[in-house]
Structure 1
Amino acid sequence: MARFNYGPSKAVDTSIATWFCSNFDVGHSWWRLDLGDGRYIHKIDILPRSHPTDAFAFRDVEIRVGTTDLSSGDFTSWTLYAHYMGPYTVQGGRLLFTSYEGIPGRYISVQRGMNVTEAALKILDFKVYVRIH
């Protein structure tokens, strides 16, 4: 779910001057990527927005991989790829999560693990390194 002009495509547009921003009034903020086909996901590289007003916004984040199309915001049936407790700070740089064997899936979600409505999920850049099934 996105607000204003900070839609999901802003996280994968090759620019770190734009970003995805979820709605503020929805708990468990989330973002989902459809790879189009099944892949083995080997590395996920996330650059959260680190503006001073975003202090503690990127924390308790689950990254999940799935094979079924879910758009409800509940991705708990998907495989947990990584959990980032955070909070993120600019000194953290890019967050890298790897799986040597790779996790099979078509969809990737990034979701807040807690019901927090005072801070939105903000992603500047998102990269995925895959191998075709």
Structure 2
Amino acid sequence: MIPSTSLMTMGSCMWVWIWVWEYLCLSVGAQVNKIAKGFPVECNTTVGYVEQNYAAASEMRCALLANKNAALEYIYDGTMCTLLGEGLGISDARGVGFTKPYPLGQTLQEVANNKPTYGAPHNGNYISSKAVDGNDAKLSIYANEDRFLFPWWLVDLGDTYLIHKIVILPRYNNYMHHFHDIEIRVGTQLDTSGDLGTYKLFSTYKGPYPAPKWEKQLVVCERRDGVLGRYASLKRVTAEYRELIHLNEFRVYAIPAH
């Protein structure tokens, strides 16, 4: 007969090994996270990119659940596990978890709303500031002047931030196919020349924007490592003579740099 003290020791060891296994799964998960670290990636549209909430006792459990459900990423707030893009990721039979895309203990804040904006010459009343006015009505948009090659737009965030996520709503009631071949860059100095080549590449969007007419689909661009800067910009990098940039909303989610 095994003494009760030995059984207690065996039980304690088993729980230690369970937590060690979960920790290793979470650590390995950082290597296979769908949110790339350290280099720009293609933006995603929100086709099927919905959120699902689950109760979870720990972030490790949340990461394992993200793996099980093949989610693109997760957010854990201490009690609730939010999975984004379930079924769009890769589930690993070994139980390898996905890491959350942003630093632990940090909450991203939207920092572009109603900030100063600049851009290529605007078309009619579709001025640059309409892209950060918080109004996603169909004609509350920025649109560049017709026949302007390589149109661009940028927002001055007013301070330096570590930018992790940029969310774009292109025009969704017409001309959706105009939104393609886009570069999103982040800089530390104001550049109104339209060149923007000194800005660091944050992400790209090949497009074209696939939304059916009247359906608001967001273009989501994320960097797990974050890019430091004060100015967030957007530019089409192909020469399209009659295709304007139609920008309904441009939102920047970041952490203060100091």
Query: TM-score, length-normalised on structure 1?
Result: 0.94
* 1:41-52 correspondence runs (5 A): 41-52=163-174
- Residue 129 of structure 2 is matched in structure 1 by 9
Can you list the C-alpha shifts for 1:82-132, whole angstroms capped at 9, x where unaligned?
Answer: 110000021581011111121000001100011112111011111110111
TM-fit CA distance, 1:50: 2.4
| Amino acid corresponding to residue 12 of structure 1 in structure 2 | V
Contact kept? 1:50, 1:89, Cα under 8 Å: no
- Residue 63 of structure 1 is matched in structure 2 by 184
Correspondence for 1:83 among 183, 200, 204: 204
Gaps of 5+ in 2: 1-119
Can you list the C-alpha shifts for 1:55-102, whole angstroms capped at 9, x where unaligned?
Answer: 420000000000111000001121110110000021581011111121
Q: Looking at secondary structure, tell me which structure has more helix per residue.
A: 2
Q: How many residues align?
A: 132
Superposition misfits of 4+ residues, deviation over 3 angstroms:
none
Contact kept? 2:170, 2:176, Cα under 8 Å: no
SS at structure 2 position matched to 1:50: coil
Gaps of 5+ in 1: none
Contact kept? 1:11, 1:123, Cα under 8 Å: yes
* 1:94-109 correspondence runs (5 A): 94-109=218-233
Aligned-residue RMSD, C-alpha: 1.3
CA distance in 1, matches of 2:209, 2:154: 20
CA distance in 1, matches of 2:172, 2:242: 16
* Aligned-pair identity (%): 36
SS at structure 2 position matched to 1:11: helix
Correspondence for 2:144 among 18, 22, 33: 22
Contact kept? 2:176, 2:211, Cα under 8 Å: no
| Amino acid corresponding to residue 133 of structure 2 in structure 1 | D
CA distance in 1, matches of 2:159, 2:218: 26
CA distance in 2, matches of 1:58, 1:43: 19
CA distance in 2, matches of 1:35, 1:124: 18
Query: TM-score, length-normalised on structure 2?
Result: 0.49
SS at structure 1 position matched to 2:235: strand
Q: Looking at secondary structure, tell me which structure has more strand per residue.
A: 1
